Structure 1
């Protein structure tokens, strides 16, 4: 049997609640809780011939493997977050032993407690905004610029004028789109406790051809969730397609930097 490591999913407050029996971890492994001074670390065993430092580098080049691992990781984190305030840990954080996880809970207890206190009673929502292709290709600006220039019958001159007008029109459209994205972010952020703007995803990740102009995460009080959703709904249209996701565990607001001392005992990747 291959030597096993300890995969860490999340740290939460210890409210004495058990996960549903049907929640399994990476590679279908059972998930168990390690408790210490009011905190719980959720872990499962993983084979080190797959999750050790060297084989893990190869595994991370397999997109199917990464996708399956990420889904299992997310499944456990979401189940934990339904039970108690939760701080998700970065994907594929693996320790050699459970004792190292206990030591982590002891040494970083106050840091983890502060993070969990910040997200108690709050959930993360995602707002993505896309520039609609129809708006980006709108000929209105082109027409206005063309009308402002004197006519010239020479084919080459007319072509250059149309090209300049088209470029100016597109630049103006993208300027207005960027301003609209900023307005959307500022408006929804005002309804949230905290916000974070991620880098816009390319079409391969987003699954859409329309360019993403906003990829925001927002930490929202649970008793303001309906207000937040209504605010987002009111911002749709005007050449922008707005996509709302969530609520999720607060991935974007619980960045647990394990630090050099922690990484010395971890295969954190």
Structure 2
């Protein structure tokens, strides 16, 4: 069965060696394919799994998708430790090296512009989850003496929950404004669905921040200081990642299709 060329990322040539133990998708170690001033980090994968029809079926298999995402992310993480990669979309494949080089030729200018913009920078993710406050076990709800009492108690409970969510959202806005002041750029992503993320509580902040490597330690310390500051709120910091949220090649709409943030949590 023939093999296809799987592309993990585009980057500039680099001298440092990747971690020896890193293997990519389907267990194949990543290699490099050069074209002008760019490097494509590639691997070989079986057409029986990554051809158009089998890949469509595999993408509905959560176990297969998760394992592939982890292998993809392992390569991206290893690259991030030694250079600035532009991650390609999960399961980006070409028939052969010639196809990869054609893609690099067509998008060379956009790749170089984005690499210049992101050089020496990494992405940090910050999420805030608000936990619903459970009623203390010792406090049993007051038995309603009438329908009017029942409605009053219900309005009080609703008001308490609304105030809790408002407080959580105010905290999230304050933290986001503070972190923006310590980052070069920021992106607000849609709140995560707890049923999909399997995280408890309501996601009130899901943001990414572009930070110079040299300033990452200070950024991390800033986030760590606010953890536990607000009861009922859980602050989560992830990274450093390749700059997934900032790698969109905004000057060319077609370019945005290929450079994409893989599901980082699936790969972690």
Shorter-normalised TM range: 0.7 to 0.9
Partner of 1:177: 168
> Contact conserved, 1:4 with 1:47, CA < 8 A, in 2?
yes
Q: Which has the larger radius of gyration?
A: 1
Provide the C-alpha distance between the structure 1 equivalents of 2:255 and 2:115, rounded to a whole number of angstroms: 21
Assess, with a 3 A threshold, how the Cα gap between structure 1 residues 262 and 251 changes in structure 2: closer, same or farther. Answer: closer
2 CA distance for matches of 1:255 and 1:114?
A: 11
The residue correspondences of 1:29-40 to structure 2 (distance < 5 A) are 29-40=28-39
2:156 is paired with a residue whose SS is: helix
Given candidates 246, 255, 261, the residue that maps to 2:239 is 246
Alignment length, in residue pairs? Answer: 248
Q: Is the counterpart of residue 227 in structure 1 residue 218 in structure 2?
A: yes
Deviation at 1:42, TM superposition (A): 0.6
Mapping 1:98-137, distance limit 5 Å? 98-134=97-133
Q: Decide whether aligned partners of structure 1 residues 46 and 256 sit closer, same or farther in structure 2, where only a CA change above 3 A counts.
A: farther
With the length of structure 2 as denominator, give the TM-score of the two structures: 0.85
Structure 2 CA distance for aligned equivalents of residues 123 and 54 of structure 1: 35
Contact 2:30 2:43 in 1 (8 A): yes
Cα deviations across residues 245-268 of structure 1 (Å, max 9, x unaligned)? 1111111111358865998xxxxx
The verdict on how the C-alpha distance between 1:261 and 1:65 changes in structure 2, with shifts beyond 3 A counting, is same
Distance (whole Å) between structure 2 residues aligned to residue 76 and residue 174 of structure 1: 39
Greater shift after overlay, 99-108 or 197-206? 197-206
**SS in structure 2 at match of 1:7:** strand
Q: Which residue of 2 aligns with 1:94?
A: 93
Question: 1: distance between equivalents of 2:23 and 2:145?
Answer: 72
Q: 2:34, 2:40 within 8 Å by CA — same for their partners in 1?
A: yes
Residues 252, 39 of structure 1: alpha-carbon distance in 2 compared, 3 angstrom cutoff: same
* Deviation digits for residues 125-183 of structure 1 (CA, Å, limit 9, x no counterpart): 1111011333x869xxxxxxxxxxxxxx9522111111112112212221221122111
Name the structure 2 match of 1:209.
200
Q: What TM-score, normalized by structure 1, do the two folds share? A: 0.85
> Gapped runs of 5+ residues in structure 2?
137-143, 258-268
Secondary structure of 1:90's counterpart equals coil
Give CA deviations for 1:183-204 in whole Å, capped at 9, x if unaligned. 1111112111111122222224
Q: Which residue of 1 aligns with 2:140?
A: none
Equivalence map 1:1-269=2 (5 Å): 2-134=1-133, 155-236=146-227, 237-239=229-231, 240-255=233-248
